[in-house]
A and B are shown apart, each in its own frame.
Chain A
Amino acid sequence: VRGSEADGVGVLLAESDDAGAESTIAALRNGNFGTKLFRVNDGREALDFVNCSGAFAGRDRNDFPRLILLGLMLPGLNGLDVLRALKGDARTHAVPVVVMVADSERHHVTACYELGANGYVTKPPLHYDLQNAIASIGTFWLLLNRVPA
């Protein structure tokens, strides 16, 4: 429905917290990875985006993001549910998902890897550290990592 805004997205950010999402988006922009970002606010929307259903029914089904940065505290369907759904489906299994949580959150590191998360990052609370962490995430997942064609 949102037309071209949702096409050719490199990074899908699933994050319900506005301030948290904004700091991640700003740091990714600073990294100049030349990738389009798209943010969703809840888990259902994240799945709809990847599966081209619901509000994203018009999206090309072969157009997968190179990386999903997935928050866990999402309303409705939470991050673990989204991860389980994506990794349990042969069509979306290979899309890299890095779980990204706030420093203050309860950690679910092992549970995330059990469900097939590709990586897990705790967002550093300081701006400078966040910038460096996001630069490293972008360099690995957007520039070095290869995904199936």
Chain B
Amino acid sequence: MNDDVTNFADVEILLAEDNRQDAEMTIRALKKCSILNKLFWAKDGVEALDFIRCTGPYASRDPLQVPKLILLDLKMPRLDGLDVLRALKSDDKTRNIPIVAMTSSNQERDVTESYRLGVNGYVTKPVQFASFMEAVANIGMYWLFVNEAPA
């Protein structure tokens, strides 16, 4: 993962998550759906936007390679999840990419605002380890194998 900085052709999930422990658990859970090598981990909102827009360190990425899902943490440094969501959903080039907010926030206003900005789904991170792993595996199964992403 993240070791080949020039070729991201296989990326099917972009994980935008600043919390290392949550990111590592997410990656472990997705291993079960054998999609580990198709995940890219962006550590904050700026990196997530650069990845999708093929700018900055990702200028060499092919903009036609679009992930099937962006798993977006809402509380991130530099640029937070709602700003990333707003930026991607208000841009014609990126607005159709499915985004699921995954957050520890339990605040109703984050749910409401996420939907207002056009989020496709919203999942509260389960606190229990086993529930967290199961939730991530189920999210991966649905968005990678059942749901059809835009061409």
Contacts and interface: CB of A to CB of B under 8 A. Distances in A.
B103 to A, nearest CB: 10
Interface residues of B, number: 27
Given A144-B123, A148-B108, A109 B150 contact: yes
Interface stretch (A12-20, A22-30, A41-49, A113-121): A113-121
Interface stretch (A3-11, A32-40, A71-79, A134-142): A134-142
Q: How large is the interface on A (under 10, 10 to 19, 20 to 34, 35 or more residues)?
A: 20 to 34
Interface in A119-149: 119-122, 133, 136-137, 139-141, 143-149
A139 B123 CA distance: 12
Given A118-B121, A119-B98, A146-B122, 5 more contacts: A94-B112, A116-B118, A121-B147, A133-B146, A144-B123
B96 A147 contact: no
A131 B11 CA distance: 28
A96 interface: yes
Interface of B: 95-96, 98, 108, 111-112, 115-116, 118, 120-124, 135, 138-139, 141-143, 145-151
B120 A119 contact: yes
Interface of A: 93-94, 96, 98, 107, 109-110, 113-114, 116, 118-122, 133, 136-137, 139-141, 143-149
A45 B54 CA distance: 44
A144 B143 CA distance: 13
Residue of A122, A133, A148 with highest tally of chain B CB at under 10 A: A148
